[in-house]
Amino acid sequence: MSLSPGVRLGAYEILALVGAGGMGEIYRARDTRLDGTVAIKVLGAALASDPQLRDRFEREARAISSLNHPHICMLFDVGHQDPSTGSGQAVDYLVLEYLE
């Protein structure tokens, strides 16, 4: 599931794909409310249909939000976007601090 630049997930505008891994893809995005750069982690489409993997993604979000350490990205937001609201597909995502 690749998101194109310009696609919006809530208040976040996708700018570029920066990486991919076992659970999904990471994008550089712009927070249109605060005009800052964030990282968006999107759960892969094949994984999103698996309830156990969606639960794991949600547990990851809860774990990250409970931590505060200089070597761990801060979690700013979590979201789910229905297919009818911009991207053309259902998307589960985490909004994280963007680090170069």
For the segment 29-73, what is each residue's pLDDT rounded down to a tens digit? 999 999 999 999 998 766 777 788 888 888 888 888 888 888 888
CA distance 42 to 79: 10
CA distances from residue 96 to 50, 68, 84 in whole angstroms, order as listed: 23, 13, 24
| pLDDT for res 12 | 95
CA distances from residue 49 to 12, 14, 16 in whole angstroms, order as listed: 23, 23, 24
* Residue linked to tokens 């985490």: 94
| pLDDT for res 19 | 92
For the segment 5-34, what is each residue's pLDDT rounded down to a tens digit? 999 999 999 999 999 887 789 999 999 999
| pLDDT for res 1 | 62
Q: Does domain 8-97 have CATH number 3.30.200.20?
A: yes
| pLDDT for res 88 | 60
| pLDDT for res 85 | 52
